[in-house]
Amino acid sequence: MWIRAMVFLTMSAALLAPTAADAKRPTLNVAEKQRLPEYCWSRHGDPRYKGHPDYSIPKICGKAMNHICPGQIYLVAAQRATLSRRDREFFAERALAEFGYTKRYMTAECPLRQNLESSMALARMLKGRR
């Protein structure tokens, strides 16, 4: 009886223990950074694009747009082929949280709205994939 209880507790703890994905925002490699949308390159991609208006988020989009690129980072990480299901779901969920915040405060005139909608759809699909 005690052995079964110990096995149950050990397995439960293993299932609830945080994974590497739970710890922090993922670090993207060079190839993954190139998959980020161009508007994220100024801040999260190649430093040569720093401050360049073609590679930055348009100011017309509003002040809360600082969450869209972290969401894109989580989305790119969620597409890694080597991830466990749990890590993929975690990254997709984090992407959806970042995108949701951005969408709530995005202006109606923002040209990135369609990109945000398609990114959210991809994150939902990745989250639901088993």
Q: What is the enclosing helix (H) or strand (E) of 50? A: none
pLDDT digits (tens, 9 = 90+) for 45-65: 666 767 676 677 888 998 889
pLDDT tens-digit readout, 75-92 = 999 999 999 999 999 999
Q: How many domains does the chain have?
A: 1
Poorest-pLDDT segment among 6-20, 30-44, 61-75, 113-127: 6-20
Domain range spanning residue 63?
2-128
CA distances for 97 relative to 24, 31, 72, 87, angstroms: 14, 24, 11, 15
pTM for the full predicted model: 0.76
Tokens (6 digits) for 38: 């161009």
Phi (first) and psi of residue 81, to 5 degrees: -70, -25
| Dihedral angle sign, alpha carbons of residues 16, 20, 23, 28 | negative
